[in-house]
Amino acid sequence: MSTQLVIVEDDDRVRTALRLAMEDEGYHVTEAGEAEAALLHLRDFGAPNVMIIDLMLGAMDGFTCIREIRRDHDVPIIVVSARDDTHDVVAALEAGADDFVTKPFEVKEITARMRALRRRSARTAELGRGAPADVILDGDPHHRVILSPERGTVRCNGAELHLTVTEFRMLCELAENPSRVLSRQILLERIWDRGFFGDERIVDVHLRRLRTKIERDPSDPRIIITVRGLGYRLDAQP
């Protein structure tokens, strides 16, 4: 079965170029010229395997579109945008995007990042092999958080938390190295599968989002600890 891709882009030329390139890569592509059309497609047909979303779309912008998608889906999302201000990059990642590409771009860069994202998703599906059935991240009876690599889930008090592919891989990477500090560069190399993004902010933003989902108090994290100047460390709370 071919990989399902939805492209949300209001520029016809850019959308067509992306569609042709991604079809050459073997994707089955659905196009949407506005955010509302993309959300209707997800409602009617379910989430695709991956999405490419522009930020400047019209009535509903890309930030809002991503947040709406993240209410119910953990589909990998790559943002493409001419808006390259630091605030916009961070805001897109905080909204739930997995990666950010600035326009103008080479189509081969998009296809390379898509291949990396597919490999990341495939590795996520394989994470459970040889891993413990459950990792208790927080044993507090009122906030019991359990990572289950074999099932690809994280649960809090029995309810499954909705983590993106990137967030789940990051959590598993930290859990595989308990009490060991992992630098931002190591996390970039292991999770994003490449070094050319060149911006460690992407790690910090995804860690902040992850903390809002698993920590009792994200402003005072106990599970994922920041080691100033070095990186991050996972300290399970039995």
190: pLDDT confidence band, cut at 50, 70 and 90?
confident
Q: Pairing mode, if any, of strands 27-32 and 77-81?
A: unpaired
Per domain, the residue ranges of the chain are 3-125, 127-234
pLDDT digit string, tens, across residues 80-90: 988 877 788 88
The CATH classification number of 127-234 equals 1.10.10.10
The CATH classification number of 3-125 equals 3.40.50.2300
The pTM of this model reads 0.74
User: Nearest to residue 145, comparing CAs of 119, 173, 171, 122?
Assistant: 171
**In whole angstroms, how large is the CA radius of gyration of the chain?**
18
pLDDT digit string, tens, across residues 15-70: 998 999 899 888 999 999 999 999 999 999 999 989 999 999 989 999 999 999 99
Phi/psi of residue 75, each to 5°? -55, 135
